[in-house]
């Protein structure tokens, strides 16, 4: 595919929060996330389906950003790419100065372990493990020594106000508490980004607000937070909203 035609894609028209737009082919080293002309193509039988049609954007460190879009918009694909669960078919993705778009499985696993903290809609905690052990898990795969691991996991649980429930298993916790365990797990390895996929999708509205408040607090403490959602009132809590439709960035607006 020719770069010339691609650079004319609608992504060129996005409103960049930064004054000087970086080159489309290069990346801006000051940015935490720098995506350039990202395509994701799936082979469905004989047909090629483009989930993303050349998406480019930057996210600076410390931003609180929402990615919003209806189902089938390519928003989940984008989230998987940001979270390094997948690699783009084409295009470049720099995360914290590293080009992750051409990494192999194990390198991606390492990046996920060190750079990304996932928060899922359905919490995705290990049912048989205690809250503490769930939070320790990323450190286990990160090769952190056991005493240090304990301290770090306890700190993370304390940061989400769950110090009292460390030894409880997920089925002994409420939905909001489970999501807070998941957030502690996401935080524990000091990742570059906290990537939340519909974090309030399985929670009632009151608990949802608690979780969103927690995100706000974490952001105010300097963390970079990316929330992927289809709910506008959740997206409205963010400082910047990227709207995805049909595999393209439809809108990129700064709210505050």
Contacting residues toward another protein, per CB under 8 A: 32, 61-62, 80, 83, 85-86, 96, 105-106, 109-110, 112-115, 117-118, 120, 124-126, 128, 137-146, 148-149, 151-152, 155-156, 158-159, 185, 187, 189-194, 218, 221-224
Helices (H), the chain: 3-6, 75-82, 105-115, 131-142, 146-159, 175-187, 205-220, 232-235
Comparison of 17 and 142: residue with beta carbon closer to another protein: 142
CB of 7 to another protein, least distance (A): 29
Q: Which two tokens stand for residue 110?
A: 């390492």
Spatial contact of 142 and 113, defined as CB atoms under 8 Å apart: yes
Would residue 249 be called left, alpha or beta, if left means φ above 0 and alpha means ψ between -120 and 50 degrees?
Answer: beta
SS3 121: coil
CB of 182 to another protein, least distance (A): 10
Comparison of 158 and 254: residue with beta carbon closer to another protein: 158
Distance CA 78, CA 226 (A): 11
CB of 85 to another protein, least distance (A): 5
CB of 67 to another protein, least distance (A): 16
Spatial neighbors of 83 by CB under 8 A, at least 6 apart, are: 112, 116, 118, 195
């Amino acid at each position: 595919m020719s770069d010339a035609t691609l650079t004319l894609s609608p992504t060129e028209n996005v409103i960049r929060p930064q004054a000087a737009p970086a080159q489309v082919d290069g990346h801006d080293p000051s940015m935490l996330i720098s995506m350039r002309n990202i395509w994701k193509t799936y082979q469905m039988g004989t047909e090629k389906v483009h989930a993303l049609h050349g998406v480019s954007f930057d996210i600076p460190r410390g931003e609180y950003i929402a990615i919003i879009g209806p189902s089938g918009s390519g928003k989940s694909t984008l989230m998987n790419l940001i979270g390094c669960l997948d690699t783009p078919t084409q295009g470049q993705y720099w995360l914290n100065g590293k080009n992750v778009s051409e990494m192999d499985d194990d390198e991606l696993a390492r990046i996920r372990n060190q750079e990304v903290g996932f928060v899922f809609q359905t919490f995705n905690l290990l049912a048989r493990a205690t809250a503490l052990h769930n939070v320790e898990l990323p450190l286990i795969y990160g090769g952190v020594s056991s005493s240090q691991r304990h301290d770090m996991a306890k700190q993370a649980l304390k940061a989400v106000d769950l110090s009292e429930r460390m030894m409880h298993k997920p089925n002994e916790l409420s939905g909001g508490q489970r999501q807070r365990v998941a957030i502690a797990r996401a935080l524990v390895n000091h990742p570059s980004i906290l990537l939340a996929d519909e974090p309030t999708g399985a929670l009632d509205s009151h608990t949802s607000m608690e979780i969103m408040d927690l995100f706000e607090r974490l952001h105010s403490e300097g963390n970079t937070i990316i929330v992927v959602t289809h709910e506008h009132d959740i997206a409205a809590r963010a400082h910047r909203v990227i709207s995805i439709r049909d595999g393209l960035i439809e809108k990129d607006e700064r709210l505050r």
